[in-house]
Structure 1
Amino acid sequence: MGLRPRRGAGGDRAGPGSDPGEGRGDAFTTPPAGTAPGPLWQSEAAGGSLGALDALAVAGDVVLVSGDPLVGRDIVTGKEVWSRKEVAVPGAKLLVSGGTLYLASAQYDGDVVGLDPATGKETWRSRLGGERYAQPRTLAADDRHVYVLAGVLEKDLSVKDNVIAALDIASGKVVWQERRDAGTEEYGIVAAAVGRHLVYTDLRENVTVRDTATGRQVWTKKIGTSNHRRLAFHEDLVIVPDTHRLRAFALGDGRERWSLAADETYVWFRDPAVLDGVLYVADSSRSLWAVNPATGREIWRNDDLAELSTPWQYTKVGDTLYGATELDPKGGVHAFDARDGRLRWTYNDGTKSSEKWYVVPSGKRLAALHGKRLTALPAV
């Protein structure tokens, strides 16, 4: 079916932004159409991604990969800036907020720690509450709180229930903790803090919103399938993939604002992302969509990707949309023209690892993770 035409504006275009490597060899040449750029540098990553949603992060000019040891590398040179053993649990979510990397303690002592991404040194620590809780896991953070999930320890040290809690960044103290319904799983939680709302989905087919100040449940809603993938947000909306539909709910009251259906009921949507006012999402028929996130109206669609693996994670620099694929065969990092969805190039490291790809930006550079290989690419 090919490229479908643009049918409306979804937001302003963004420039490449500030580059931490400004002045350090950042003049890159745009390759010919269909030709991927060569790596700026490559290095081995300690532990691979282990399937985590957030296994790769950039803070300032330091790139981080979840693993043991946890290593910070200079995004421009690839050189190791710092390395620390036994600070990150396997598959740790790299949650960077306000210049701090928040992690569950790898000592399994119930603490949550904060590290300076530039140096790897500990700058913050908090405990959820004595020995009442099993190892907490970080969910989200904003400028006031770190939000965690932890199991409630019974007298026999078993865990039947769990709580969501907010830790005060200034004091490290517990601001609130709310026990979740009996039987809800500790895993499969995807969360984000957006304004005064903590939003999360779980394996019991729920979308739930809590007040970040009090922990009070604002609303919860059933969806048609378990969502343990990414959520997307636009202004006062949370956008959730629900099998063959994308559904947008108002954060304040849970009302459904719009719903967008795939062409066939057997086609399901994958992980969405809103970047510069446009919603990007691939579906299981290997089409890539651009959608106005305020209305659910299609802007363009690329149906020419049948022979390729489609993205599950996105970032954008200037007018180029970069997508990291979940499967490696005929995948890797795709570069699309964000204005019409046309594929410009695909980079693959040739390792044939079965692990998913990740891509995050840093000014005019991209950090790409695939299994145990970390690659820096020019954002061209």
Structure 2
Amino acid sequence: MEVPGAGRNRRIGPYALLGSGRTVGGGELFAARTDEGLLVTVTVAGPEPAANPEFRDRLRAAVEAARRLSGAFLVPVVDADADAPVPWVATRFTAGLPLRHAVDRHGALGEPALRVLADGLARALAILHGAGTVHGEVDPDSVLLTMDGPRIGALGLVGATASPPPSPTDDMFGLGATVLYAASGGEQDTDALPASLREVIGGCLYPEPSDRPTAEQLVDYLEHQGLPAPEGGWLPPAVTADMAAAAAAVGSAHAVQVPTPPRPVRAPGTGVSRRNLIISLAGGAALLGGGAAALAFSGDSAPPPEGRAGGLGTTARPTRPSGARTTSAPSPSRSSADGPEPVVLAGPDAAKAWSRTGKRAPTCLEASDKVVMVVTDKATSFMEAASGDRAFDALNTRNSFGANMSTYPTAYADGVFYLLCDAPGQWGLLAAFDAADGKVKWAVNLAASDPGGAKIVSNYGRQYLAASGGTVYVCGVVRDYGRKFSTDNPITGYIRAFAATTGKKLWQVQGTDINNVLVPPSGSRLLAASAIPAKEPGRVQMIDAARKGARGWKVPLRYPSPYYGTGWPMTDYADGHFLFAGGKGDTLSVVDAATGTEKWHQRFEAKNGDLVRMGAPFSSPDGATVYVPIGSDLAALSMADGTLRWVATLDGASDRGGANLFTASLRLGGRHAQCSADTVFATDSAKTLWAIDAATGRARWKYTDSSQPDVGFRWTVGGDRVFIASHLTMTAIAADGR
């Protein structure tokens, strides 16, 4: 192709152009070589912008800013001439393939590669945005795949020279669309996003710019998932082979070298929920009376924007937003300074009531005020809560996988322990043990109640066990053999009910509208939440146990992604009401359990402008107080009207070096917060368990155990004691820490 200003010898400045170029954003991109044989990449501006003097002024300023930027995933600027007949910018040559080329030729990338792609782009944009610059052309053409991660240029011509300039939120939309392109093979089908990225990448594609996460927030989100990095090369072998062939085609020249900094380590408190994040209540709680059950709250009764009808499970093709660009973040309607002063948690180390060492590491725990049930991969044993001594003879029931993010296999109610377990020669049992003597009351084989008779047609995954009101509930996912998941044929969840006295099966319901299930400690009404099926709004709905699982009232949710997973419930119950995250995940909605009528709702905002995403709410045993974890903050609200009572705030860093967060705020499955009569117990990402005075929000004590799993403690509360499992050791701490 003819390159304006290149001359017959195809030179731009001191560089000889190699081969043909390709269009990227606001210019043409070429591999080029100096007379000494060093390789660079040259971007040449088009003739129209080059004729504009303002373009040259903006480019000159952008080049000066870009020269000061460096990062592991940024391609640095090494030379430029904004005053040449045709302006150009040279960057360090980087051997790699454009993302579009790789996807068009080899298909979609897998989940590990997508996570590396999203993380690398977010880290690069965090550096640019932190320096007050914007790239402006993040897309599959400008993103380069290299052997050790993705790359984008430290200077994008569009971001550098456009008038009006693009905003960081436009870059985040581009990042989301780019990752979606790589996940779907170019089809822009959001169903192709893996579960670990669905929420955050979907958030990048929100129509409203202020709703999108920042680059720093995206990095923080991925870090706190704690998923392992891919082993070996991060790209498929076919892509790396193409990469090597492309590098060989350029020639045997040498690339211009500039120092590459190590992977950045962020200072504590610079992530999505900083240590100084102070939540504010936007305008106070709204008390409502007599609303219809089908109404959504906080303005959510309006239909979702086009392409968002099913939350993140739609097949809509996102388009780049039009209209004026904005970088402004939502501001709080009322500062939390108008309410109680935040309490920074600080307290003494707890004194252990007792500690015992066993032969096998516990996989899950459950406790009453008198007895602790300890389950390992070999046996089930019982300990005296007061002393740690053996309470009863051990049983041969076991659970090898135990409690984790997606499974919670124990429950206690009315003097009986319940356990999802195996025994020698028997698998898939639900067993009940008398807490008074440790004897087996009954055990049923759950596989015997699977439909299909002798022919196994479905696998019923058992993710969550609960007991209430004389009934035991097993909840999970139905996996039909030979069935392929799609937006038209999504995951099916189920609820099974058994008589607590005999183990007799009472009823079963299932459907694609059942994902995350809450069983309250009293009453006959359950709450099922769902983010699917796609193309429909998510919802929370009442399941009436007294009517054998009949579906009752329902409330649609425009942003239902917290309820996509099965396992530990992400909703709560208190004083005859259900509590759940509504709005954009920033609003606590409280509805009557019988009718679905909203009692009140409370929206949260961050003083520093961060996006707010509530964790799972939980309540005091008497139902008078509800606790809402949000990043580094824990807010206590009156259940009567949503009045803010106190806010407790974490200080310091997590064990990974980022901001220290309440684990319950991360919306992971599992037990991360509980209450006794006068104490709130909550774990954080520094692997510390806090005991917080329920009346004041001040710390009573703390207990740190670096050997705990990354997703949180193995622990439970029984009476006025906390019981903690750490490898082979069981530890008890009194609620008062003494």
User: CA-to-partner distance for each residue in 1:71-91, whole Å, 9 max, x for gaps?
Assistant: 222222222333333433522
Task: Measure, in 2, the Cα distance between the counterparts of 1:259 and 1:363.
Answer: 31
Equivalent residue letter for 2:574: H
Q: 1:291 Cα shift?
A: 0.2
User: CA-to-partner distance for each residue in 1:8-37, whole Å, 9 max, x for gaps?
Assistant: xxxxxxxxxxxxxxxxxxxxxxxxx83223
- Where structure 2 has 5 or more consecutive residues not aligned to the other structure, the ranges are 1-275, 285-345, 403-407, 452-457, 486-490, 533-537, 654-659, 665-671
Work out whether 1:290 is the aligned partner of 2:290: no
Q: What are the equivalent positions in structure 2 for 1:109-148 lying under 5 Å apart?
A: 109=427, 111-126=429-444, 130-132=449-451, 134-135=459-460, 137=462, 139-148=465-474
Distance 1:322 1:253, change over 3 A: closer
Match of 1:78 among 377, 382, 388: 388
Query: What RMSD over aligned residues (CA atoms) do the two structures have, in Å?
Result: 3.7
User: CA-to-partner distance for each residue in 1:136-177, whole Å, 9 max, x for gaps?
Assistant: 635322233222236668687999755422222344333222
Work out whether 1:278 is the aligned partner of 2:625: yes
Match of residue 10 from structure 1: none
**What fraction of aligned residue pairs are identical, expressed as a percent?**
21
User: CA-to-partner distance for each residue in 1:167-193, whole Å, 9 max, x for gaps?
Assistant: 2234433322223238x66xx555446
Distance 1:180 1:207, change over 3 A: same
Distance 1:316 1:173, change over 3 A: closer
- Where structure 1 has 5 or more consecutive residues not aligned to the other structure, the ranges are 8-32, 50-54
When the two structures are superposed, what TM-score results if normalisation uses the length of structure 2? 0.41
Q: What are the equivalent positions in structure 2 for 1:262-277 lying under 5 Å apart?
A: 262-264=604-606, 266-275=611-620, 276=622, 277=624
Q: What are the equivalent positions in structure 2 for 1:1-380 lying under 5 Å apart?
A: 34-44=347-357, 46-49=360-363, 55-68=364-377, 69-81=379-391, 82-88=393-399, 90-91=401-402, 92-106=408-422, 109=427, 111-126=429-444, 130-132=449-451, 134-135=459-460, 137=462, 139-149=465-475, 161=492, 163-181=494-512, 189-192=517-520, 194-202=522-530, 204=532, 205-214=538-547, 215-223=549-557, 224-225=559-560, 226-227=562-563, 228=565, 229-242=569-582, 243-264=585-606, 266-275=611-620, 276=622, 277-284=624-631, 286-303=632-649, 305=651, 308-310=660-662, 312=664, 313-317=672-676, 319=678, 321-327=679-685, 329=686, 331-351=687-707, 353-357=709-713, 359-370=715-726, 373-380=729-736
Contact 1:136–1:148 (CA under 8 A) maintained in structure 2: no
Distance 1:34 1:149, change over 3 A: closer
Q: 1:198 Cα shift?
A: 1.7
Distance 1:357 1:152, change over 3 A: closer
Match of residue 173 from structure 2: none
User: CA-to-partner distance for each residue in 1:181-239, whole Å, 9 max, x for gaps?
Assistant: 38x66xx5554464120223345443231111221101233332323544322222111
Q: Is the radius of gyration larger for structure 1 or structure 2?
A: 2
Equivalent residue letter for 2:690: H
Contact 2:540–2:554 (CA under 8 A) maintained in structure 1: yes
The answer to which structure has the higher strand fraction is 1
Distance 1:194 1:230, change over 3 A: farther
Distance 1:370 1:192, change over 3 A: farther
Contact 1:334–1:343 (CA under 8 A) maintained in structure 2: yes
Distance 1:290 1:153, change over 3 A: closer
Q: 1:126 Cα shift?
A: 3.6
User: CA-to-partner distance for each residue in 1:312-353, whole Å, 9 max, x for gaps?
Assistant: 33444564x2323142x2x42212232221234322135365
Between 1 and 2, higher relative CO (CA 8 Å, sep ≥ 6) is seen in: 1
